[in-house]
């Protein structure tokens, strides 16, 4: 009689692209079972070397979160909080993603793993982005001063509006993705839907 496989405690699936296959993850007692296209595997929780959480918006979905999991052998898999539905629609899976990430952290902690828990972008990328933002801020301020000096009120208003929109969009991205570490019992709330 064939042995039946136990049902997972928590499952999560998403489509990373419209024409690609689904990515499926199952949290089981023996470890994290995953299937991405034709590849599959089972990672024991104490073999997970790092979990990196980040905020990765797209034009199609401004509320997109990502978890990158790294195995101690160097292999990686990514988990996104949205799934493709049609050519113009990405569906948010906030509750399912949050449940999956929370249970994964709980299982990795219970296994006694020494996984690196990292939030946000890599420091090099983050500070390079801050440098570009500082340069753009100085340039926009110079344009604003020039527009005011020559009495170009419509141009000055446009620059102020553009700066406000840019600051709101990019500022939120940079604030959420500030590089830091976290602990198993204090997941970064701003990197979960």
| Paired residues of 175 in beta bridges | none
Please say if the pLDDT value at position 1 is more than 50. Answer: no
**Per-residue model confidence as pLDDT tens digits over 129-166:** 999 999 999 999 999 999 999 999 999 999 999 999 88
What pLDDT, in 10s, does the model give residues 167-180? Answer: 888 888 899 999 99
Give the residue from 35, 36, 37, 98 showing the smallest Cα distance to 63.
98
Residues 6+ apart with CB under 8 A from 29: 6, 9
Quickly state the pLDDT bin for 2 (edges 50, 70, 90). very low
Backbone angles phi, psi at 26, to 5 degrees: -125, 125
């Amino acid at each position: 009689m064939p042995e039946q496989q136990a049902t997972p405690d928590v499952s999560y699936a998403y489509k990373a692209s419209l024409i690609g296959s689904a990515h499926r993850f199952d949290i089981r007692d023996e470890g994290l079972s995953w299937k991405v296209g034709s590849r599959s595997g089972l990672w024991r929780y104490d073999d997970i070397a790092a979990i990196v959480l980040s905020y990765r918006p797209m034009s199609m979905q401004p509320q997109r979160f990502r978890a990158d999991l790294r195995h101690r052998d160097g292999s990686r898999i990514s988990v996104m909080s949205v799934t493709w539905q049609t050519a113009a629609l990405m569906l948010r899976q906030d509750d399912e993603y949050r449940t999956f990430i929370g249970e994964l952290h709980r299982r990795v902690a219970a296994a006694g793993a020494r996984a690196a828990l990292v939030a946000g972008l890599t420091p090099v990328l983050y500070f390079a982005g801050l440098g570009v933002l500082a340069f753009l801020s100085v340039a926009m301020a110079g344009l604003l001063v020039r527009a005011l000096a020559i009495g170009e009120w419509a141009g000055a208003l446009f620059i102020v509006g553009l700066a406000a929109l840019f600051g709101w969009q990019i500022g939120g991205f940079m604030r959420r993705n500030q590089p830091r570490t976290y602990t198993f019992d204090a997941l970064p709330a701003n990197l979960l839907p």
